[in-house]
Structure 1
Amino acid sequence: MTTVQITLPDQLAQEAQRAGLLSPANLERWLRDQLKTQRVDEFFAAMDRMAEVNDPAVMSPDEVAQEIAAMRAERRARNAN
């Protein structure tokens, strides 16, 4: 388990605590939902990029592997920020 510390304005933290939003179960559910939403958004963004290509070029397996590696590196770099 990892402990995460966040800084919130006092009033917001108090309201969130009273509403039960800061419980570990609620925070976990919210984070999982956000991650799922982000993956879906990334999927549809990729679909949009694919739709913009008029005539997709035939790619060799090596070219496909390079594109996948580049996409994964881009995602890792984005998630590191």
Structure 2
Amino acid sequence: MRFAANLRSARLAAGLSQEDLAEKAGFHRSYVSQVERGITNITVDNACRLADFLGVDLAVLFSALDAENKAE
């Protein structure tokens, strides 16, 4: 759930909706929703794509602190 929470925080900090992020990264919006809710596992390749489009380092999405707290 750490990745899911950090992904959501990073997406919100970027001012993107799930649909916007999904479209930019080439995913269906339901996939981003499922990843953020921890329902679907994500591959490293897909995690990298999302991190790239959010403009964050992949390590931030896996860190113990969420992306918002890391930015402060």
Tell me if both proteins adopt one fold, taking TM over 0.5 as the criterion. no
Normalized against structure 2, the TM-score is what? 0.25
Normalized against structure 1, the TM-score is what? 0.23
Q: Which has the higher contact order (CA 8 A, sep 6+)?
A: 2
Larger radius of gyration: 1
